[in-house]
Structure 1
């Protein structure tokens, strides 16, 4: 368990999938991944929610996972998104991710169906039995309409050795204490909300699966490293430094704002696949202001330190 905690500790970037004229812009994707690796992120998460997995073909998802594995070259753990609202399809995604070379899989709760907790146990159990890879559960009720109960997590840990972690994105720090009460140290916890990364770490989480790291990987890595080294004042300062940018990433549905920020940074285009569309002109202008303030503040912060 100690080795697993180490492997899952730190910043995991929920990678966007850049598009150009309807197809994946692999050149921009490669640039984005290298930016993350240079910043020292611990993990890369291709084909997740931020990567618009719902509108990727199987072949595109396979290619992105394999490419991420190749680019990472052991420098970061690759945790592939592998969830759907169909257990059979989820099992297939898990197997394909393993074949593509992923180190772990992230499985979101089934959306739209709204299964019971018993249904979640059966769903995740079937997926876990289909792979030897570590499985991170993903609870995001704002997207899926359901939440994984702490007792459900405990039941899954009892029954399946491959289930080891959870990405908690319900927006409540209290959930960490509830999860730890039910599961103890057996469950590795990631914050699924950038703005809650620091409070989650203070309550027992070991990392963050981050959207804002696409744009600000250095600052997110520094925040987690500061906390882990015991420099709580620096960790708080970094939390405050990225706060406005973090909030900006959700002024519209993810990944619209982060793609807009990447476009403003000349790192990738803003193109998305329907039914997702780029952010409004007004919000793009808001993001330009937020990003400009962040870049200036970050430069000043780095000089001071």
Structure 2
């Protein structure tokens, strides 16, 4: 199966997984999906890092993907998380996600093992060979301890036609230029850092896989659509309006702050699975103040349109 790069243009939401009393709160999850789709989100990303995939059972992960596909009804692209630090398990996750109806896969670098670049080629090659779905690499060295080198990306897209893109979350906009220098237009790039979305777009990325969009989907969509429509000044204004919120949602380990924000907004409970715990009271109070300022500024900005 192949997908045009245009299908990856825009905002993809790295979905949280709501829990209640230790089990997945599917009602809250579907309410979140509904809000995302109403806001015009281009893609939905279940069972990724933000969805606490590391502590989901295989059955829960498949169910979340299948429910996302069913609820979505083709309105957005469903890019399911399918990463593991055991290549055999990553292959199995990819196959299950494809069977559950996902449109594409997001596969994080193996964590803890710290493979070499040759190991990354072998790992991603095995996953790509096991599925017909488009595969997006996910480089997040802050969590995994390794980075996918631009030359490795170039080798992978040459050897495996269904490896089509990368979610780049290394915290540096310079990586976009490095990746484009190695891969040209053959590699679709998404920002994996909300605060760097606009710089990434300016350097040639197509979109963002966003944590912030769980809480502020309309504003994230407005910023990215403004850029793609050629209104750089309006995109910059949205970027500046979103900046404090984006920073604050990462002052503790993701997805703690975004779950706290959604809980403060009455959309989900704050529950997380160990070893992650809800954010501190100080973070919750700070986040509440930021949310109030953001909502006021967003409303005022939209009134001036």
Q: For 1:158-209, what per-residue CA distance to the aligned partner results, in whole angstroms no more than 9, with x for missing partners?
A: 1001100000000000000000000000000000000000000000000000
Partner of 1:263: 263
Q: For 1:227-283, what per-residue CA distance to the aligned partner results, in whole angstroms no more than 9, with x for missing partners?
A: 001100100000001100000110100000000000011001110000000000010
Alpha-carbon offset, residue 3 of structure 1: 5.6
TM-score, length basis structure 1: 0.99
1:18 aligns with 2:18: yes
CA distance in 2 between partners of 1:214 and 1:52 (Å): 14
Matched residues, number:
304
CA distance in 2 between partners of 1:159 and 1:6 (Å): 22
For structure 1, the 5+ residue unaligned runs are: none
Q: How does 1:1-305 map to 2 (within 5 A)?
A: 4-305=4-305
CA distance in 2 between partners of 1:21 and 1:58 (Å): 19
CA distance in 2 between partners of 1:21 and 1:262 (Å): 17
For structure 2, the 5+ residue unaligned runs are: none
Q: For 1:25-53, what per-residue CA distance to the aligned partner results, in whole angstroms no more than 9, with x for missing partners?
A: 00100010000000000000000000000
Kept in 1, the 8 Å contact 2:11–2:224? The answer is: yes
CA distance in 2 between partners of 1:292 and 1:18 (Å): 23
Q: For 1:118-166, what per-residue CA distance to the aligned partner results, in whole angstroms no more than 9, with x for missing partners?
A: 0000000000000000000000000000000000000001100110000
CA distance in 1 between partners of 2:54 and 2:130 (Å): 21
After superposition, the CA RMSD in angstroms is 0.8
Q: 2:4 aligns to what SS in structure 1? A: helix
Q: 2:239 aligns to what SS in structure 1? A: helix
Kept in 1, the 8 Å contact 2:3–2:134? The answer is: no
CA distance in 1 between partners of 2:4 and 2:189 (Å): 11
Q: 1:302 aligns to what SS in structure 2? A: helix
Kept in 1, the 8 Å contact 2:171–2:193? The answer is: yes
Q: 2:156 aligns to what SS in structure 1? A: helix
CA distance in 1 between partners of 2:72 and 2:9 (Å): 17
User: Moved runs in structure 1, 4+ residues, more than 2 A?
Assistant: none
CA distance in 1 between partners of 2:4 and 2:145 (Å): 29
Q: 1:61 aligns to what SS in structure 2? A: helix
Q: For 1:3-28, what per-residue CA distance to the aligned partner results, in whole angstroms no more than 9, with x for missing partners?
A: 62111100000000000000000010
Q: For 1:85-130, what per-residue CA distance to the aligned partner results, in whole angstroms no more than 9, with x for missing partners?
A: 0000000000000000000000000000000000000000000000
Alpha-carbon offset, residue 217 of structure 1: 0.2
TM-score, length basis structure 2: 0.99
